[in-house]
Amino acid sequence: MRWDEIIRPEVGRLRPYEPGLRVSQVRERSGKDVVLKLSSNEHPCGPVPTAVRAMEAVLPRMNRYPDGACRALRGKLADRLGVPVANVVIGNGSNEILRLIAQAVLRPGDEVVYAWPSFIVYSMVTDHFGATHVRVPLDAAQTHDLEAMLDAVTDRTRLLFLCNPNNPTGTAYGREAFARFMQRVPEHVLVVVDEAYFEFVTASDYPDASEWFDGARPLVVTRTFSKIYSLAGLRTGYALCPEPLVRAIDALREPFNVNTVGQVAAYYSLDDEAEVRRRRAENQEQKTYLYSCFDRLGIGYARSETNFVYFATERPVEVFEALLEEGVIVRDFGNAPALRVGIGTPTDTEITVRAMEAVAARLGSI
Ligand X SMILES: Cc1ncc(COP(=O)(O)O)c(C=O)c1O
- Contacts to ligand X by CB under 6 A: 41, 93-95, 119, 163, 167, 194, 196, 224, 226, 232, 237
Measured from the CB atom, the residue of 15 and 64 that comes closer to ligand X is: 15
Smallest gap from residue 229 Cβ to ligand X (A): 10
According to DSSP, the β-strands at 36-37 and 157-163 are unpaired
Query: Any residues with CB less than 8 A from the CB of 325 and at least 6 apart, and which?
Result: 30
C-beta of 350: minimal distance to ligand X in Å? Answer: 25
Task: Output the smallest distance, CB 194 to ligand X, in A.
Answer: 5
Half-sphere exposure of 214 (CA within 13 A, CB side): 4
Q: How far is the CB of 339 from ligand X (least distance, A)?
A: 16
CB nearer ligand X, residue 196 or residue 264: 196
Residue 178 or 326: the one with the smaller Cβ distance to ligand X is 178
Nearest-CB residue for ligand X: 93
Nearer to ligand X among residue 90 and residue 293 (C-beta): 90
Question: In angstroms, what is the minimal distance from the CB of 232 to ligand X?
Answer: 5
Q: Which is nearer to ligand X, 42 or 145 (CB)?
A: 42
Closer residue to ligand X (CB): 308 or 353: 308
SS (H, E, C) the chain: CCHHHHCCHHHHCCCCCCCCCCHHHHHHHHCCCCCEECCCCCCCCCCCHHHHHHHHHHHHHCCCCCCCCCHHHHHHHHHHHCCCHHHEEEEECHHHHHHHHHHHHCCCCCEEEEEECCCHHHHHHHHHCCCEEEEEECCCCCCCCHHHHHHCCCCCEEEEEEECCCCCCCCCCCHHHHHHHHHHCCCCCEEEEECCCHHHCCCCCCCCHHHHCCCCCCEEEEEECCCCCCCHHHCEEEEECCHHHHHHHHHHCCCCCCCHHHHHHHHHHCCCHHHHHHHHHHHHHHHHHHHHHHHHHCCCECCCCCCEEEEECCCHHHHHHHHHHCCEECEECCCCCEEEEECCCHHHHHHHHHHHHHHHHHHCCC
Residue 264 vs 322, nearer CB to ligand X = 264
Among 286, 300, 307, residue whose Cα is nearest residue 351: 286
Q: Least Å distance between CB 331 and ligand X?
A: 10
Least distance in angstroms from the C-beta of 172 to ligand X: 12
CB of 116 to ligand X, least distance (A): 13
What's the min distance (Å) between Cβ of 245 and ligand X?
18
Nearer residue to ligand X within complex by CB, 94 or 304: 94
The nearer residue to ligand X, 235 or 353, going by C-beta atoms, is: 235
Smallest gap from residue 155 Cβ to ligand X (A): 28
Nearest to 185 by CA among 143, 139, 135, 219: 219
Nearer Cβ to ligand X (42/326) = 42
Closest CA to 269 of 36, 51, 23: 51
Q: Hey, what amino acid is at 196? A: A
Question: Is residue 142 left, alpha or beta, with left meaning phi > 0 and alpha meaning psi from -120 to 50?
Answer: left
